[in-house]
Amino acid sequence: MYKYDEHDQTIVNERVRQFKGQTDRYLKGELSDEEFLALRLQNGLYIQRLAPMLRIAVPYGMLNSTQVRKLAELCRKYDKGYAHFTTRQNVQFNWPKLEDVPSILSELASVEMHAIQTSGNCIRNTTTDQFAGAIADEVTDPRPYCEIIRQWSTFHPEFAFLPRKFKIAVNSVPNNDRAATLVHDIGVQLVKDANGNVSYDIYAGGGLGRTPMVASLIRKQLPELDLLTYLEAILRVYNRYGRRDNKYKARIKILVKAMTPEVFAAKVDEEWAHIKASSNRLTSAEISRVKAFFVDPAYETLDNNPAELTAALANNKAFSRWYERNTDTHKKPGYRLVTLTMKKLGTPPGDVSDRQLEAIAELADQYSFGEVRVTHNQNVVLADVKQSDLFALWEKAYEQGFATPVLGMLTDIICCPGGDYCSLANAKSIPVAEQIQAKFDDLDYVYDIGELELNISGCMNACGHHHVGHIGILGVDKKGAEFYQVSLGGSSGKIAGHTDTDIGKILGPSFARADMPEVIEKLITVYTENRTEEELFIDTYRRIGIDPFKERVYAPAH
């Protein structure tokens, strides 16, 4: 994991001091609400429905156990004893006091953390595959490149006031995109060129929100050292020509579409020609320096399927179910990737208490070299667990509610905080997730349905990624009442390979909240009646189309 040197620490410390000054001036009335708004937003501080909300950056989802313990301590001291994992691999506090925020930031800085650029119209946290570095099929570990982008984008003086927020994601696995890169403003796909050198395919103009779009490939095989200068050229074209007259048309996707991807790419190339040799051109030495932080931990030489594991799998059905569902193949023999699910019934998706955070830190120290990763599905990954430890880990995780064996299934719902917490939301989202989880509490049935992504957003901003859910649910406001629109057939490419990213189609008129579990059940029934043996929900949908689903759901009651 990356460790700060004196430069990184200085920048974060100076930011704490700067923000403290800004907050003091605001509280003294020297800054207007509007002026302070732009400043606090650059620091992840929203004024929400009930209280300020502070979003803390977790660069590409990586946390060490010291940082997790600090988060536990902070949410106990300054909040109501719980935190929320977001769909952008970050962490949010929902109840801090404005005047406490400088102290929170100062404590975060002591463990190499910050809230820089976690909101506002600037370059946000770069995200990547939560399994990075621990899987065999990646081109190269994407995390050093994410860190390089993080540093370049931190306080970039030219891009602090973009037309709109800007999100970059990096993926390194061919044909499997756990980072949903094609629905980001820029998607960086690590590839090897003909000579085996690392290079990048660059996609631009993807995004969710009001006008969901899949990104277009604008540059194939960008050479390794040219990453930052090329990103700078894209951002400059966007900063100058992106729309600023209408915030719903201000994302880069609208610009790319309006110009056409070809013309946009040509404009970026023209800009890039002027700056490709600038001081921001990477050096091999810098790439090696950052890569040195992401070397393998001290793995032992082990064999796959040790006796402890095979015995436990044979003797314990619940454990074997969890093993099948919530663990994944590791690049090293004798190890597994473990996903702890934060999706227990009765708890809002992604919410964790201070005690649970401490339990996560404890599990990480005991079983996974003291590191965890936050996933964009609002779960937590222990990346390097010995297979011989899995049963002991499972028992402890089970006690904490982290072992619901539904990863990737219908009830592993992605959900934004919604109208319960967020002032932007049109409707509540958490109660819908809970109703669906309660309706589908029979694990055998959930298993029979198989992999199915159900995503819920409380408004058009799409924090719950509803457009790319196989089933997507969007909260809408109809004359002051909360209704829910359903879409089908979205895909972030996680299952079917990265060229398969798709935006869901709207099923039809929206539904009252109370009807949602039944609507979902009808959709599932259409699938189970029509599927062939090997088809997942998304496959059946793609084969039979939307009409059979529509007919069932909107059929008049008999």
Partner 1 sequence: MRQLIKDNQIISDTWTILTKEECAETIPAGNVLVPVKVWLANHEALVNRQDIGIWFEGDDEPEKIGAELTRFPVIAVNFPKFADGRGYSIARLIKERYQFTGELRAIGDVLRDQLYFLQRCGFNSFQVRADRIDESAIESFKDFSTVYQAAADETPALFHKR
Alpha helices in 50-176 (DSSP H): 65-78, 101-109, 143-153
Q: Across-strand partners of 200? A: 190, 222
- Binding piece for partner 1, criterion CB under 8 A, among 180-188, 213-221, 280-288, 428-436: 280-288
* Nearer residue to partner 1 within complex by CB, 232 or 502: 232
Tokens 């895909």 belong to 491
* Interacting residues with partner 1 between 478 and 517 (CB under 8 A): none
Strand partners, 52: 47
Instruction: Name residues contacting partner 1, limited to 112-131 (CB under 8 A).
Output: 121
Tell me the window of 102-110, 282-290, 351-359, 429-437 that interacts with partner 1 (CB under 8 A).
282-290
Q: In terms of Cα–Cα distance, which of 178, 227, 557 is closest to 339? A: 178
Query: Structure tokens of 257?
Result: 């579409």
CB of 239 to partner 1, least distance (A): 5
27 or 50: CB nearest partner 1: 27
29 contributes a contact to partner 1 by CB under 8 A = no
Residues making up the chain, counted from first to last:
558
Cβ distance to partner 1 smaller for residue 38 or 314: 38
Q: Does 151 bind partner 1 (CB under 8 A)?
A: yes
> What is d(CA 373, CA 381) in angstroms, rounded to the nearest whole number?
5
Contact (CB, 8 A) for 382 and 340: yes
Measure Cα distances from 523 to 467, 547, 554 in Å: 17, 11, 11
Encoded tokens for 292:
């040195």
Interface with partner 1 (CB under 8 A), residue from 10, 197, 315, 499: 10
Concatenated DSSP letters of 190-245: EEE-TTS-EEEEEEE--B-TTS-BPPEEEEEEEEGGGHHHHHHHHHHHHHHHS--S
CA distances from 43 to 110, 114, 117, 121, 398 (A): 17, 8, 5, 11, 36
Cα–Cα dist 217/16, whole Å: 38
Q: Does 288 bind partner 1 (CB under 8 A)?
A: no
Q: Which of 210, 244, 522, 550: binder of partner 1 (CB under 8 A)?
A: 244
Angle at CA of residue 85, ends 93 and 188, nearest 5°: 120
Q: Rule CB under 8 A: is residue 43 a binding residue for partner 1?
A: no
Q: List the structure tokens of 142.
A: 């994407």
Walk across the sheet containing 127-128 and list its strands. Answer: 127-128, 168-171, 186-192, 198-204, 216-223
Least Å from the CB of residue 414 to partner 1: 30
Nearest distance in Å: CB 7, partner 1: 5
Judged by DSSP in three states, 369 sits in coil
Residue 24 interacting with partner 1 (CB under 8 A)? no
Question: What type of residue sits at position 554?
Answer: Y
**Residue 279 lies near partner 1 (rule: CB under 8 A):** yes
Report the DSSP pairing between strands 198-204 and 127-128. Answer: unpaired
- Is residue 2 within the footprint of partner 1 (CB under 8 A)? no
- Report H helices in 154-200: none
39 binds partner 1 (CB under 8 A): yes
Stretch that binds partner 1, among 56-64, 258-266, 285-293, 472-480 (CB under 8 A): 285-293
**Contact stretch for partner 1 (CB under 8 A) within 127-135, 149-157, 353-361, 376-384:** 149-157
Closer residue to partner 1 (CB): 139 or 160: 160
Residue 336: how many CB atoms within 10 A of its CB? 23
- Minimum CB separation of residue 426 from partner 1 in Å reads 24
* Comparison of 240 and 478: residue with beta carbon closer to partner 1: 240
Is 240 an interacting residue with respect to partner 1 (CB under 8 A)?
A: yes
Helix (H) or strand (E) holding 149: helix 143-153
Contact yes or no for 140/221 (Cβ under 8 A): no
Name the segment binding partner 1 (CB under 8 A); options: 6-14, 291-299, 486-494, 520-528.
6-14
- How many residues bind partner 1, per CB under 8 A? 38
Q: Which helix (H) or strand (E) holds 487?
A: strand 481-488
Kindly tell me which residue out of 47, 51, 160, 544 binds partner 1, with binding defined by CB under 8 A: 160
- Is 535 one of the binding residues for partner 1 (CB under 8 A)? no
**C-beta of 234: minimal distance to partner 1 in Å?**
12
Q: How far is the CB of 126 from partner 1 (least distance, A)?
A: 13
Task: Please identify which residue in 171, 216, 239, 356 interacts with partner 1, judged by CB under 8 A.
Answer: 239
* Alpha helices, H only, 154-195: none
The dihedrals phi and psi of 290, each to the nearest 5 degrees, come to -70, -40
Confirm or reject binding of residue 5 to partner 1 (CB under 8 A).
yes
- Contact between 38 and partner 1 by CB under 8 A: the answer reads yes
244 or 321, CB closer to partner 1? 244
Q: How far is the CB of 32 from partner 1 (least distance, A)?
A: 10
Region of 14-22, 192-200, 259-267, 427-435 interacting with partner 1 (CB under 8 A):
14-22
Among 4, 78, 155, 447, binds partner 1 (CB under 8 A): 155
* Binding flag, residue 236, partner 1 (CB under 8 A): yes
State yes or no: residue 14 binds partner 1 (CB under 8 A).
yes
CB of 545 to partner 1, least distance (A): 44
Report the C-alpha gap between 218 and 438 in whole angstroms. Answer: 44
List b or e across 122-139, with b for residues whose CB sees 16 or more CB atoms inside 10 angstroms.
bbbbbbbbbbbbbbeebb
CB of 28: closest distance to partner 1 in angstroms?
12
157 part of the interface to partner 1, by CB under 8 A? yes
Binding site for partner 1 (CB under 8 A): 5, 7, 10-11, 14-15, 18, 22, 35, 38-39, 121, 151-152, 154-162, 228, 236, 239-240, 244, 274-275, 278-280, 282-283, 285-286, 289
